[in-house]
Amino acid sequence: MIKKYSIKKLLDQHNLFLNKKVIVEGWVRSFRNYMFISLNDGSTIKNIQIVVSSSEKLKKNFLKQITIGTSLHVIGIITNSIGKEQVIELQSDLIKIYGKVDHLLFQQSILQPKQHSLEKLRTQTHLRFRTKVFSCVMRIRHHIAFSIHKYFNENGFFYIHTPIITTSNAEGAGNMFQVTTLDLKHIPWTHDKIIDYQKDFFKCKTYLGVSGQLEAEAASLALGKVYTFGPVFRAENSNTSRHLSEFWMIEPEIAFYHLEENMNLAEEFLKYIIQYIIEHCVDDLYFLTNYMSKNEEQSLLKQLESLLTINFEKISYTESIDILNKSIHNNKVNFVHPVVWGMDLQSEHEQYLVNKYFKNPIIIFDYPCDIKAFYMKMNNDEKTVRAMDILFPKVGEIIGGSQREERYDILITRMKKHNINKQLLYWYLDTRRFGSVPHSGFGLGFDRLVQFISGMQNIRDVIPFPKTPNHAS
């Protein structure tokens, strides 16, 4: 029986297949002189060349139906190619068309073989998978996700599925999308003229989760090392190149872990992923480097490799404020937002520190307690918490995390200060009453990591169907 192979397998292991009859299936990338078809099946950026046999060349009317985008089933023999472009080619015995392409629609589609802007590609998200650039990004995205599971599995972490629907809006990580089955045209009101959520699906107010951290903490306080990897939702009105309303986050949470260990884990973890991508996605990284070369001085591969050789600089929030103030003082830089201890670092400040001052990823720790979430562990100075953010070149904050407040009394005080409903979070507080332990974790923005590794300028170009303010279709 003749077997079917992916184009990647045929090209990678071409010696195995020489003079063998095989089946390949894919979409036409180009068709020259009724003779040479470039076929791609998505398994790799590379195409296989199909040489149309002399008997099939006679079927002119049939061949006329083969255009860019047509899907084909081809049986043929793998031979060495005399062309310079490829090592092997497929001498066709039989070509079958699965699906033809509508010429009129094609004229307006992004499949037309010319350079389209990434903005244009976004208007046809369902078709952009077929473009070289987007398929590269998608393959890299897959390998990053895989390497994340691989890393955790090799290091004794358990994958926990935290809920997407939640009743708590306590994390303070951004505005939430509400989940309801109430008929908005006939809202049920109580006697006190507030919405009667007893009539809603869950008999209470519910939201889409902004993070799985609090639930992951509960799991880690039994299983030791856990992680989540799922979609989260934030209804912030941020129209930037690094914000999505629906994005994917990875949140490891580790019992008996202090901030220092947490920072080291995050650095080792990021480097592991990058190393994995360098080893498994070279073709796609090369393509993306060429694609962007006009405004990139260094190849993507070199940038990633150099990141593996350096230690991420760790500086406290207070030190970072000092550096910013000194730089202003020495006329090295001007900021729109004034720099004062206690403020949230703005992206202009972060960019200066990462891109200009250190020129490398940095970890900033011990932030003022007033600008960070209630669950972060209070330092003895009672002004700062054991928070840490990792900032990367170009994409800025890629990781946010902390050691958690494990002391029940202090946690209660912090919740009061943040106006957080103790009743709703009784279960979270319970974890501090049944053998509480120091523990830590962080959240990695998956799409931002894909953006950094693939070198794409806009986060909307690294997720299949981006959701952003005013844009959900």
Binding residues for ligand 4AD, rule: CB under 6 A, are 173, 211, 213, 234, 243-244, 247, 249, 251, 397-402, 441-443, 445, 447-448
| 75 vs 145 by CB, closer to ligand 4AD | 145
- Binding partner at 366 among Mg ion, ligand 4AD, none, C-beta below 5 to 8 Å by kind: none
Provide, rounded to whole angstroms, the least separation between the CB of residue 320 and Mg ion.
15
What lies within 8 Å, CB to CB, of 159 at 6+ separation is 149, 152, 226, 227, 228, 229
In the complex with Mg ion, which residue's Cβ is closer, 277 or 398? Answer: 398
Residue among 45 and 210 whose Cβ is closer to ligand 4AD: 210
Least Å distance, CB 398 to Mg ion, is 10
Q: Which does 215 bind (CB under 5 to 8 A by kind): ligand 4AD, Mg ion, none?
A: none
Tell which residue, 265, 266, 301, has the closest CA to residue 280.
301
The rounded distance, in Å, linking the Cα atoms of 293 and 187 is: 55
Least separation in angstroms between residue 374's CB and ligand 4AD is: 11
How many residues form the binding site for Mg ion (CB under 5 A)? Answer: 1
Choice between 236 and 246, CB closer to Mg ion: 236
Report which DSSP code applies to 424.
Answer: T
Asked whether position 441 contacts Mg ion by CB under 5 A, the answer is no
285 interface partner picked from Mg ion, ligand 4AD, none, CB below 5 to 8 A per type: none
Of 76, 400, 438, 445, the one binding Mg ion by CB under 5 A: 400
Rounded to 10 degrees, what is the CA torsion of 304, 213, 217, 388?
50
Least gap, CB of 304 to ligand 4AD (angstroms): 18
Q: Which residue is nearest to ligand 4AD (CB)?
A: 445
Judged by beta carbon, residue 44 or residue 402, the one nearer ligand 4AD is 402
- CA 31 from chain centre, in angstroms, equals 35
Give least dist CB 397 to ligand 4AD, A. 4
Question: Toward Mg ion, which CB reaches closer, 139 or 243?
Answer: 243
Query: Residue with structure tokens 């350096």?
Result: 310
Give min distance, CB of 356 to ligand 4AD, in A: 21
Residue 228 CB, shortest distance to ligand 4AD, in Å, is 8
Task: In angstroms, give the least distance from the CB of 215 to ligand 4AD.
Answer: 10
438 binds, among Mg ion, ligand 4AD, none (CB under 5 to 8 A by kind): none
Residue number with CB closer to ligand 4AD (45 or 388):
388
Residue 398 binds which of Mg ion, ligand 4AD, none (CB < 5-8 A, kind-dependent):
ligand 4AD
Tokens of 281: 């996605």
Residue 399's binding partner out of Mg ion, ligand 4AD, none, with CB under 5 to 8 Å set by partner kind: ligand 4AD
CB of 392 to ligand 4AD, least distance (A): 9
Q: Which stretch binds Mg ion (CB under 5 A): 62-70, 190-198, 325-333, 398-406?
A: 398-406
Does residue number 466 form part of the binding site for Mg ion (CB under 5 A)? Answer: no
Residue 249 φ then ψ, to 5°: -130, 145
CA 219, CA 228: separation in Å to the nearest integer?
A: 10
Identify the DSSP state of 225: E
Q: How far is the CB of 155 from ligand 4AD (least distance, A)?
A: 17
Q: Please say which residue, 443 or 455, places its beta carbon nearer to ligand 4AD.
A: 443
Using the contact rule CB under 5 A, the part of the chain among 53-61, 63-71, 363-371, 393-401 near Mg ion is 393-401
Query: Cα dist. 393→70, 146, 303, 353 in Å?
Result: 41, 23, 10, 9
**Residue 442's binding partner, choosing from Mg ion, ligand 4AD, none, with beta-carbon cut-off 5 to 8 A by kind?**
ligand 4AD
* Tokens coding 185: 């045209």
Answer yes or no: are the C-beta atoms of 452 and 242 closer than 8 Å.
no
What gap in Å lies between CA 193 and CA 190, rounded to an integer?
Answer: 5
Q: In angstroms, give the least distance from the CB of 397 to Mg ion.
A: 6
In order, the DSSP letters of 291-356 are HHGGG-SS-HHHHHHHHHHSPPEEEEHHHHHHHHHHHHHTTS---SS---TTSPPPHHHHHIIIII
The answer to whether 36 and 1 are in contact (CB under 8 A) is no
First CA to last CA distance, the chain: 45
Beta-carbon contacts of residue 233 (< 8 Å; ≥ 6 apart): 176, 177, 208, 209, 210, 245, 246
Q: Is residue 447 within 8 Å of residue 218, measured between CB atoms?
A: no
Q: Which two tokens stand for residue 418?
A: 């943040």
- 401 lies in the site for Mg ion, by CB under 5 A: no
Q: Quick one: 47 or 213, whose CB is closer to ligand 4AD?
A: 213
Beta bridge partners of 316: 365
Residues that bind Mg ion (CB under 5 A): 400
